[in-house]
Amino acid sequence: MDNMIVKGMKFYGYHGVFPEENKLGQKYEVDIELAMDLEQAAATDDLTCTVNYAEIHALAKTIVEGPAFKLIEALTGHIASRVLEAYTMVNEVTVRVTKPNPPFDIHFDGVTVELRRKRDADGRTIPA
């Protein structure tokens, strides 16, 4: 299986459990890995044989900058589900969402949630 990785996307969102997070917002970093067959795209140089990564960016932006989730686990899962719904050629998706500055009095580089999802035989999204 081939992979396309859209890495280091940065968005501003209002997700979190604390009211300050929902009011002030913060930056989020998103990486999305798409597992799919890219043989035809490589051979033909045809955009219709692959996933347009600008569309992946736009999809992630709409979700991260959209309605708030309490948990980044829910935010990450929503991105994964929407990618699989929108792009049937994607067999499996891995989404990483990093909250670089959680509102705690501790010092670290942030917290990342990584979810891997795929489509089952009936087309439902399941853990990979």
What residues are annotated to the active site?
Answer: 99
Residues 6+ apart with CB under 8 A from 122: none
Q: Which two tokens stand for residue 113?
A: 């949630």
Greatest distance between any 2 Cα atoms in the chain: 53
Over its C-alpha atoms, the chain yields an Rg (Å, rounded) of 16
How far apart are the C-alpha atoms of 71 and 8, rounded to whole Å? 20
